[in-house]
Amino acid sequence: MAGEIMDNKGRGVASWSWPSIHPEGRKFALAAAAISGLFAFMAWETLAWPMAALALGICAFFRDPQRVVPQDTNAIVSPADGLVSLIVEVEPPAELCVADGAGRRGLPSGPVTRVSIFMSVFDVHINRAPVGGTVSRVVYIPGRFLNADLDKASEENERQHILIERHDGLAIGFTQIAGLVARRIVPFVKPGDLIAAGQRIGLIRFGSRVDVFLPAGTAPSVLLGQRVIAGETILAQVGDQRLIEGIAQ
């Protein structure tokens, strides 16, 4: 299925398969499995079974399923799996707005809509690019490890800002935020990289959040409380300002 063109007319072949385990997690899973095997060999079954369960849990956490990414130039796709926990009007972070010293501009100043996606330990934690383009900056900021579901986590927690500039000059910024349990943000991209929408750009270990800053004049296509899927759910359509309402049921 990887790389195959799918469409809404039925083109392509859809089939279920076990998700792969990202290499970042394999070393942890193998270590837990090895310790479990050692405990089993020593007949310490009360320790062997919990370590075996831990190995399976690590594999589940670092699962990396394939996704079908919409090929729509106006679409901004979700960079993360999880719950839309906040939709607010904010000023973008200064790190995404200021000039980078090399003549490359950042996001324009002025309030924009920020969509926050909370990832629990049960969600896929591979993050994906919301749009295709060139990575113009990656800014890491050390900080605290507050509950990522809190609004102030955007300004106080350890985080990493990423700015992607499309071929038409439109820039989309988003932020990976470490949470209460998360202790490391792992990037897969660097400034200057050319990436496609939905491409894997990094992960955050063990529970966290991703903030997306929509362009001015663009409203979200998702609702507060909705669950989204990285690389597949359309978070917004550039220039679309329609009000969308939903009912929890």
d(CA 22, CA 56): 14
**Domain extent listing, the chain:** 20-64, 75-237
Residues 94, 138: contact at Cβ < 8 Å? no
Strand partners, 161: 139, 175
pLDDT band at 206 (very low <50, low <70, confident <90, very high): low
Q: Strand (E) positions, the chain?
A: 20-21, 63-64, 75-77, 82-90, 112-119, 126-128, 133-141, 159-165, 171-178, 185-187, 194-195, 200-204, 208-213, 227-228, 234-237
Strand 126-128 to 133-141 pairing: unpaired
Q: Over the stretch 114-143, which tens digit does the pLDDT of each residue have?
A: 999 999 888 998 999 999 999 999 998 886
**Set 78, 116, 208, 221: catalytic member:** 208
Of 37-51, 120-134, 170-184, 216-230, the least confident:
170-184
Average pLDDT score over the chain: 88
Largest CA distance in the chain: 64
In the predicted model, what is the mean pLDDT of residues 31-40?
Answer: 92
Domain spanning 75-237, CATH architecture: Distorted Sandwich (2.70)
To the query of whether residue 208 is one of the catalytic residues in this protein, the response is yes
CA-to-CA distance for 222 and 127, rounded, in angstroms? Answer: 18
